[in-house]
Structure 1
Amino acid sequence: MTKTLLRGGIVLTMEPGRRALDPGSVLFDDERILAVGSVEEVDSLPASAGAETVDVTGRVVMPGLHNTHLHSGLLRGTAESMSLWDWLKYHVDPAHKAMTPEIARAASELAYTEGVLAGTVSVLDMWRFLEGSAEVAGELGIRATLAPYVADLEPYTFFESLDSNRRLLEFVADRKDPLVRAWVGVEHWLYSTDAGIRDAVELARSAGTGFHTHSSESIFEVQESLTRFGRRPIEQFYNWGILGENAVVAHCVWLDDREIELLAKTGTSVAHCPCSNMKLSSGAAPLQRLRSAGVTVGLGTDGEKENNNLDLVEEMKFASLLQKVTTLDPSAGDPWDILEMATIEGARALGLASESGSLEVGKQADVITVDLRALHTTPILHGNDFNAAAHVVFSSSGRDVDNVWVAGRRIVADRALLTADVSTVRQRAQDAAEELFARVRALRRSGEVPVLPSAPEG
């Protein structure tokens, strides 16, 4: 059995109490963490004998990041400057109608590769043809929770169905990959019938899986829910039986106090996607109110098309700044709060907190190092002036992540991916994107999807 000793770094354990070891060391084997402590403490342990030692001086050692809301995709840089619903109508939905399993697989390969190189060890991916995504996650060695885009309301039935969701559950179970799981996913309540949503909830309950969907991303959704049901979306989710400890709801921007109370009471988690919410002009989620009420809130990038990168380290900075500017409270978005959302709270939202999200003896070794030896992370200060946590949130990006281990397996070493060839991943994604856009253009010419209002096609 191989043992690895990360020695001499600034260790942010993300345990309760916001423990930092400066300097400190982390020892783990091929799966689990064996010791966390000061350099001297860990050096003195018999278990450290014979370990492969990695000098991590000048780096933060911390838990890997959990992306609690991701859409794989290939639309980056093309779906710009539109409101949410026009953006869906003219870009996202046509791409899904043109999607093939091969294109979907290449998109997930690109997304997961980009994410892991930026410190993401776990994703909740809502996407299409997720059997290929399960294979990609297994090849890369990352954690993946896969929730299909299920929709049963015309004209959205080109998305996934409950039958395809059932097949995915069986496919993933048969693979027996301990790092890859399948959940039930509903694209959106506006894309679904009442019966379809209730059937999806029942499938998740009977299969013993989690449930993932979107809600309250725009004020339009709230107005539409009040018109249709006489209640706000999260209240309607409660009536449908969606809310619960196994549910993660993305966005939750437009909530009132009653909805926050329902989320807290039921143990429902929220995936906060600040970059997406800003880019689509959706608004700012009531992060402080949610966390104060006891709601578990994880961070998500959302998709590459509504964020333009999948850098969860960068997302932390935006999560903090968005709270500061919208609440006019400079104490909002405290760096440690944001770090919790990206690590232990994200793991808790995904039902993984017993195995991941903090550096504790017995947990699986999901560990990253963030290099602070750059101009933009200088000076590094210690003692009463300790600033490493602030550097990770406000000064760093995913490009500063230089090492990644998932369940004790080294995936990234000195910024190099060990489990796939990055140039091959990129070329496959490029080829898949060109095929996808050609297929969308053909659908526009045939009248099957809307023609872009700014660029009519002949």
Structure 2
Amino acid sequence: MREDVVIRAAWVLTAAAPGAVRDGAVRIREGAVVDVGPAADVIARAPEVPVVGDGTGIVAPGWVNTHTHLSEALATGMGSELTLFEWGQHIVGPVGDVITAEDAAEGTALRAVELLLSGVTCVNDMFVHANRGSFASLGVVEGLERAGLRGVVSFGAEDLADPDAGPWGEVEEILDEHHALHAAAAATELVTFRYGIGTLLGQSDALLAAGVDACERGGWSVHTHLAETREELVTAAGRWGRRTIPHAEHLGVLGRPVIAGHAVWVTAPDIDLLARREVAVAHNPVANMILGSGVCPVSALRREGIAVGIGTDGAASNDSQDMLQAVKSAALLQKVHALDPSVIDARTVFEMATIDGARALGLSHLVGSIEPGKRADVVLYQDTVDVSVLHDPYGQLVYGASPRSVAAVWVDGRRVVDDHRCVSVDEVAQIARSRPLARHIARDSRLAREGRSVL
């Protein structure tokens, strides 16, 4: 049930004007934020409304996870010594060949617990699979609904694992799944759809052209990867005579609203093109480090007005969906790469993970900040050592908080985490349901045979 409740803390970090409110409170009602300000004033305006929170800790907007792959939910902990291309060939490919809609639903519900318990209230997913006829991506919608988690879903279709081998599937067959996923999302309250392009290199020219046409006809936005690795750029130049970002422009992809994962290997002309086309970027620091892909030039992108959000990336390219790790790493990676601790500050990173992430997804009119009229996606951090000393609430949340600190989470006004426990999904039961599915993935793919899984 949606609650009419006042949420109180030592600090309310709004990600909007007036910024940080000391001894603040937020009132939510009918799924929306209706009041925010000093606690004494908010409580006085609604004395009959129950208060959650003891005046310590932090209230903040829920994190917006701008890029992940819930197709990897049951395939964690493998391939950490592989490059992206090797990892795709030896881990993601075999998993994608056998994953089903049931695996997707149960894996999504499993990882939703982890997302919610790290303060995520909205997740942008790209489900990558090649299990023909399974329509496996639709399971994500079921899992998100079960968890009460706001989401944006896409099918990361690829039909060209080997450019010399030709496409493995019919273009119309692949487009059918996009349309089915769009319809499934449209039937929900909290889930929306984007057209997924797994990678430009992973698609035949026929599918790329058909996808651009489908987006124009359907008015669809796009979720893709761009400029993630050097190998991508070299291979693209060999295939098309241009790198992936200018080729996306050539195809007309950038004529739609686009969020692009990674954008690590971008040139100055690339950045200028992304800015002119208002392409948003999802920065995935943990995955970029694990796969040795490089460092996203966050400051250069932001200087040009590009919306840069933060993502966990998939559970197999990160091995976690803990958004607090990604938020902290986003700051630390920029500092160590520049050898300058002042290159980015905690408040900037906080805003990247909240309002900028919402802007990147075209959802900033709904979520990403705590303002009257916006949807009530709110997190209370309280009760633990992690948030007990708040000399700087932004710094403590970005650098010091852990999932232990997440006391309560509301998504669209519904309390889905209460007393540090997910209440929308039974964590113990969900683990039990997911274990045999992980075993089937290890058995039916080549992961177990190749010694990559001991299940």
Q: What TM-score do you get using the length of structure 1 for normalisation?
A: 0.91
Give 1:297 deviation, angstroms.
Answer: 0.6
Q: In structure 1, what is the equivalent of residue 334 of structure 2?
A: 323
> 2:453 and 2:48 mapped to 1: Cα distance?
66
Matched, 1:257 2:262: no
Matched, 1:144 2:155: no
Q: What is the one-letter code of the residue matched to 2:413?
A: G
Distance in 1 between the 2:9 and 2:76 partners? 39
Assess, with a 3 A threshold, how the Cα gap between structure 1 residues 287 and 2 changes in structure 2: closer, same or farther: closer
Conservation of the 8 A alpha-carbon contact between 2:154 and 2:223: yes
Equivalent residue, structure 2, for 1:384: none
Q: Aligned to 2:192, what secondary structure does the other structure show? A: strand
What amino acid sits opposite 1:216 in the alignment? A
CA contact (8 A) 1:244 1:267 kept: no
Partner SS state of residue 293, structure 2:
coil
State the distance in 2 between where 1:154 and 1:62 align: 42
Which residue of the partner structure matches residue 161 of structure 1? Answer: 174
Secondary structure at 2:445's aligned position in 1?
Answer: helix
- Aligned to 1:333, what secondary structure does the other structure show? coil
Cα offset, 1:12, TM superposition: 0.2
| Structure 2 counterpart of 1:380 | 390
Matched, 1:277 2:294: no
Distance 2:359 2:432 in 1: 35
CA deviations over 1:117-151 (Å, ceiling 9, x no partner): 21111111111522221112112111111100212
For residue 5 of structure 1, what is the aligned residue in structure 2?
6
Q: Distance in 2 between matches of 1:8 and 1:83?
A: 44
**TM-aligned CA distance change 1:398 to 1:242, over 3 Å:** farther
Distance in 1, Cα, partners of 2:17 & 2:330: 21
Deviation at 1:16, TM superposition (A): 5.0
Q: Shift of residue 327 of structure 1?
A: 1.3
- 1:219 partner letter: R
Cα distance in 2 for partners of 1:351, 1:309 equals 25
Residue 112 of structure 1 aligns with which residue?
112
Cα distance in 1, alignment partners of residues 298 and 3 from structure 2: 41
Quick check: 1:288 aligned with 2:295?
A: no
Identity %: 33
Task: Measure how far apart 1:368 and its partner are.
Answer: 0.3
- Detail structure 1 runs of 4+ shifted over 4 Å in the superposition: 454-457
Q: 1:365 to 1:37 in 2, by over 3 A?
A: same
Residue from 426, 433, 438 that aligns with 1:433: 438
Aligned counterparts, 1:384-399, within 5 A: 387-399=392-404
Structure 2: gaps of 5 or more residues: 130-135
1:210-240 residue CA offsets vs partner (Å, 9 max, x unmatched) = 2111121111111122222232211111111
Distance apart, 1:251 and its partner CA: 0.6
Matches within 5 A, 1:270-419: 270-371=281-382, 373-374=384-385, 376-381=386-391, 387-419=392-424
SS of 1:190's equivalent? coil
Q: 145-154 vs 92-101, which deviates more?
A: 145-154
Aligned to 2:428: 423
Report the Cα offset of residue 401 of structure 1: 1.2
Per-residue deviation, 1:9: 3.1
- 2:384 and 2:405 in contact (8 A); partners too: no
CA distance in 1, matches of 2:256, 2:299: 20
Q: How has the CA–CA distance of structure 1 residues 421 and 240 changed in structure 2, closer, same or farther, with 3 Å as cutoff?
A: same
The Cα shift of 1:299 comes to 0.6
Matches of 2:415 and 2:388 in 1, distance apart? 27
- RMSD, matched Cα: 2.1
Distance 2:183 2:4 in 1: 35
Bigger CA drift: 296-305 or 158-167? 158-167
> 2:31 matched to which residue of 1?
31
Q: Give the AA of the match of 2:4.
A: K
CA distance in 2, matches of 1:211, 1:76: 26
Structure 2 residue corresponding to 1:231, chosen from 242, 247, 250? 242
CA distance in 2, matches of 1:172, 1:82: 34
CA distance in 2, matches of 1:367, 1:436: 35
Find the aligned partners of 2:228 and 2:339 in 1 and give their Cα distance. 22
The secondary structure found in structure 2 opposite 1:214 is strand
Please state how far the C-alpha of 1:331 moved relative to its aligned partner: 0.9
- Distance, in Å, in 2 between the alignment partners of 1:116 and 1:297 is 21
Pick aligned residue for 2:56 from 51, 55, 58:
58
Between the aligned partners of 2:119 and 2:284, the Cα distance in structure 1 is 17
**Residue 2 and residue 106 in structure 1: after superposition, are their counterparts in 2 closer, same or farther (change >3 A)?**
closer
Q: Which amino acid aligns with 2:86?
A: D
Runs of 5+ unmatched residues, structure 1: 382-386, 445-450
Please give the per-residue CA displacement for 1:99-130, whole angstroms capped at 9, x wherever unaligned: 12222222211122210121111111111522
TM-superposed CA distance for 1:369, in Å, is 1.2
> 2:453, 2:406 → 1: CA distance?
43
User: May I ask how many residue pairs the two structures share in their alignment?
Assistant: 438
Amino acid at match of 1:145: V
Check the 8 A contact 1:2/1:51 in 2, yes or no. Answer: no
User: Is 1:103–2:103 an aligned residue pair?
Assistant: yes
**2:16 match: secondary structure:** coil
